Amino acid sequence: MFPDDLCIKLKKTKDIKTLFLIDILHMKDINASYGFGNGNAVLKQFKEFIKSLLKKEISEVINKAYGKKITSRVTRHHSDVFALIIYENLHDNLILTIKDIINTALLSYSFDISKPNLKINLNTTIGCSKSHCNDLFIFAEKALSGAKLNFEMFMFFDADLYKNETSNNSLVELIKYNIENETVAPYFQAMLCNTTDEIVKYEALMRLFDEQGNMLSPGVFLEKAKTYRLYTPLMIIMIKKVFDIIVKYKIHCSINLEYTDIINPLISNLITTQIQQHNIGNYLNLEILESERIKNFDVINDFIRTVKEHGATIAIDDFGTGFANYEYILKLNVDYLKIDGSLIQKIDEDIYMNLIKSIVMFCNKQNIKTIAEYVSNIKIQRYVKSLGINYSQGYYIQKPLSIEQLKGEKCEG
């Protein structure tokens, strides 16, 4: 439970607040290896680390987004879990930005161990939720638990949707509604060629809608769809719609695929069949998510070989953070590498610029094109171009749009 003083502060307002629960992984191993005294010291250092991030980088992006100072606080939730509470209904992109700030800072931060005198690095899992005070910690705990069960670094639960699971408007019912009515829709985010300054590709992103037409982002529904075995029909509808759009408009599109998608014959066979049937391989790029979770490289490479025979290209997504490393790139015949947005957002800092430089240099030697994610302003874009990154993607280039918005057409229905 939350400390009593934090509960009191939460109850003073009915406004929606945002909570990050940050769990230090393998804390028991640290206690066993270095003793509880060192373990407690690490916990104190970690709290100060989060408080420092909140005081500087996190507060800066929040205050900039809202044009005012937002109240926030860090406290130890329990054991090795810390609570970062922000008294604002943060929008989804800002939540992801804060998550990336924490994960990126951890990459280069060392924590002190005495007797023996050494420094160690820490890994974390983060669960996040937004709600009124009564539900806030419940759903943040659910998010954290779900992330750990699925070996994810981060998970977000929308408390307003999850607390209504037993009603007709529950999230599961909304997912079923989208499947039955085929209202699953791809939204397209542009990729800019940094040589020609022209938009040449689009990434297709899945969106769902409630019965009133309000859009749901993947952070809300994706894990729930997987839990209730509704993910595959969503992907099938999504893939068919993207292929129909490629056929109609002849635009170059990327589709995100997880390892489990590729080994799922319903999805992999649909992709290969549609590519051959419509002869659209030259317009298609397939982005492999979470490459570090690949267990059978032979199966993945067989799939890659098949789609590339028909002109499709392959990208590795979110490279540079988490467990992704160069070994996975060498094991796969890829054409593009997307540099994770958490690194791109720090491109003006020497340590991250040097890391990005090394990624670009490696890709150039391997004849792999690079794509920068989360390009959110002109300053970042100038750095990206100066480092020779081939493509840029992010809100500075273009926000995700429906095909009707993209083509300036009226939406039917």
Q: How far apart are the first and last CA of the chain?
A: 48
Per-residue pLDDT, 67: 83
pLDDT of res. 162: 54
Taking the C-alpha atoms of residue 269 and residue 255, their distance in angstroms, rounded to an integer, is 15
Q: What does pTM read for this prediction?
A: 0.64
pLDDT-above-70 percentage for the chain? 89
Which three-class secondary structure state does DSSP give residue 224?
helix
Residue 155: its pLDDT value, please?
86
| Block residue for tokens 């991250």 | 352
HSE, side-chain direction, 13 A CA sphere, residue 324: 20
d(CA 17, CA 140): 11
Mean pLDDT score across all residues of the chain? 86
Under a CB-based contact definition with an 8 Å cutoff, are residues 104 and 343 in contact?
Answer: yes
pLDDT of residue 202 exceeding 60:
yes
For residues 295-312, average pLDDT:
93
How many CB atoms neighbour CB 337 within 10 A?
26
Where is mean pLDDT largest: 100-114, 208-222, 324-338, 397-411? 100-114
Q: How confident is the model at residue 227 (pLDDT cuts 50, 70, 90)?
A: confident
Residue pair 104/321 in contact (Cβ under 8 Å)? The answer is yes
pLDDT value of residue 210: 81
Between 215 and 1, name the one with better pLDDT: 215
Cα(238)–Cα(246) distance, rounded to whole angstroms?
12
Average pLDDT over residues 60-87: 89
User: Given a cut of 60, is residue 161 above it in pLDDT?
Assistant: no
Per-residue pLDDT band at 283 (split at 50, 70, 90): very high
C-alpha torsion 384→385→389→391, nearest 10: 90
- Whose CA is closest to 200, among 187, 190, 210? 190
Looking at residue 345, its pLDDT comes to 83
* Residue, of 162 and 255, whose pLDDT is higher: 255
For strands 336-339 and 215-216, give the pairing.
unpaired
On the question of a cis peptide bond just before residue 265, with omega within 30 degrees of 0, the verdict is no
Nearest C-alpha neighbor of 397 from the set 256, 189, 91, 253 = 189
Q: Cα dist. 360→11, 292, 319, 366, 390 in Å?
A: 49, 20, 11, 10, 9
Q: How confident is the model at residue 389 (pLDDT cuts 50, 70, 90)?
A: very high
Residue with structure tokens 């995100």?
256
Query: Are 19 and 128 in contact, with CB atoms under 8 Å apart?
Result: yes
- Rounded average pLDDT over 85-101: 89
Residue 395, pLDDT > 90, answer: no
Confidence band, pLDDT 50/70/90 cuts, at residue 5: very low
Range in 8-22, 146-160, 273-287, 350-364 the model is least confident about: 8-22
Burial 325-336 (b: 16+ CB within 10 A, else e): eeebbeebebbb
Residue pointed to by tokens 């307002």: 13
C-alpha count within 13 angstroms, C-beta hemisphere, residue 153: 19
Quick check: 121 and 111 in contact, CB under 8 A? yes
DSSP state of 55: I
- 10 Å CB burial of residue 117 (0-12, 13-18, 19+) is exposed
pLDDT exceeds 60 at position 385: yes
What is the Cα–Cα distance from 397 to 246, expressed in whole angstroms?
21
Residue 4: is its pLDDT beyond 80?
no
* Six token digits for residue 337: 């590498």
